[in-house]
Amino acid sequence: SAAPSLVELLRAQISSSSELSFLMEAHDGLSAAIAERAGFKGLWASGLSIACSLGYRDANEASWSHLVDVVERIVDSSQLPVLVDGDGGFGNFNNARLLARKLLQRGAAGVALEDSCFPKMNSFVGDRHPLADIDEFSGRLRAVKDAVADDLVLVARIEALIAGHGMDKAILRAHAYADAGADAILIHSRQSTADEILSFVNAWQNRLPIVIVPTKYYRTPVSAYRNARISTVIWANHSMRAAIAAMRQVCGRIIAEESAASVEPNIATLDELFELLRYDELAGAEARYLPHP
């Protein structure tokens, strides 16, 4: 039988509650290639990190066409399935289904849509996180499902805890989004412990698989998520934050010392760069395809 497609691979990872899977953030081709080399089996095309790498704020400043262009670079740069952070879908049901079709064309394996209003604001910024009406957002999910069927994994993300609406409202939304055809529920929290996530999971009873983003509650060991039969953990922004720290240090030293000598041992070698982007493959292709003088 044929090798599983990327969407089948992502679906298998996200739908298994007996095996915890991990999606690593990518925001460009390079970060995708590095995550793959490290051994990750799937990628999260992070809205925050992609915006950041473009010099935008995570407030829908980048357009859906910016996003799909970056997703294409991520998809082309690894063999891994990519779950794309689709924010709220950039508008109503029509914008959301257009985004989903374009992501499918660019090779994404899944899309996560959150029940925020356009323009969204990153979940960790400020206190204003107005939620979409449940029925309106369910319509966005149904429109996406009708547009792409099972060719993309559809993750419905609940921002009710971020918005301070409490557990009952969050569970109510999860059931509505399951009814609308979501394949999994992403429940987000800005607390520094996993308590509210674990009580959500307890109340939810695994009607659909659960995806979490432990950016603020990073101290909780993943064994707690295995025990709770959570399906997927997203490391949502760590390569971007590593890049910021590393670039800040190297820029600071080079300007202060007017020399690159002291940073040389701490930065990637050019050979590592050439290896990551498979320059050797190009050399081999040149030998095959260029005329020999």
Rounded to a whole number of angstroms, the minimum distance from the CB of residue 154 to ligand SPV is 16
- What binding mask, one character per residue, do residues 89-128 give for ligand SPV by CB under 6 A, x or -? ---------------------------------xx-----
CB of 241 to Mg ion, least distance (A): 14
DSSP assignment of 81-128: -EEEE-TT-SSSHHHHHHHHHHHHHTT-SEEEEESBPSSP--TTSSS-
Instruction: Region of 166 please: left (phi>0), alpha (psi -120 to 50) or beta.
Output: left
As a 3-state breakdown, the chain gives helix, strand, coil percent values, each rounded to 5, of 50, 15, 40
* Catalytic residue status for 58: yes
Q: Applying CB under 6 A, which part among 44-52, 73-81, 88-96, 283-291 lies near ligand SPV?
A: 44-52
Residue 213 contacts which entry, ligand SPV, Mg ion, none (Cβ below 5-8 A, type-dependent)? ligand SPV
Annotated active-site residue in 28, 58, 85, 183: 58
Nearest to 32 by CA among 78, 79, 71: 78
CA gap 292, 290 in Å, rounded? 6
31 binds ligand SPV (CB under 6 A): no
Residue among 104, 131, 213, 228 that touches ligand SPV (CB under 6 A): 213
From the list 31, 78, 138, 237, which residue makes contact with ligand SPV (rule: CB under 6 A)?
A: 237
- Interaction site with Mg ion (CB under 5 A): 47, 85
Asked if residues 27 and 239 have their Cβ atoms less than 8 Å apart, the reply is yes
Residues 125-184 that bind ligand SPV (CB under 6 A): none
Closest approach of ligand SPV to the CB of residue 83, in Å: 11
Residue 60 interacts with which of Mg ion, ligand SPV, none, CB < 5 to 8 Å by class? none
Output 7 or 48, the one with its CB closest to ligand SPV.
48
Interface with ligand SPV, residue 232, by CB under 6 A: no
Q: Interface residues for ligand SPV in 49-68 (CB under 6 A)?
A: 49, 58
Residue 189 contacts by C-beta under 8 Å, 6 or more apart in sequence? 161, 162, 196, 197, 212, 216, 217
Q: Is 48 in the site for ligand SPV (CB under 6 A)?
A: yes
- What b-and-e string marks burial along 25-57, b requiring 16 or more CB atoms within 10 Å of the CB? bbbbbbbbbbbbeeebbbbbbbbbbbbbbbebe
Q: What does 123 interact with, of ligand SPV, Mg ion, none (CB < 5 to 8 A by kind)? A: ligand SPV
- Give the nearer residue to ligand SPV in terms of CB position, either 175 or 216: 216
Taking CA atoms, 259 is separated from 249, 250, 256, 270, 279, in Å, by 13, 11, 8, 18, 28
Which residues make beta-bridge pairs with 158? Answer: 187
Q: With respect to ligand SPV, which residue has the nearer C-beta, 46 or 53?
A: 46
The pair of structure tokens assigned to 247 is 């670039």
CA distance 81 to 10: 6
Query: Which residues of this protein are in contact with ligand SPV, per CB under 6 A?
Result: 46-49, 58, 85, 122-123, 213, 215, 236-237
Q: Which residues are catalytic?
A: 58
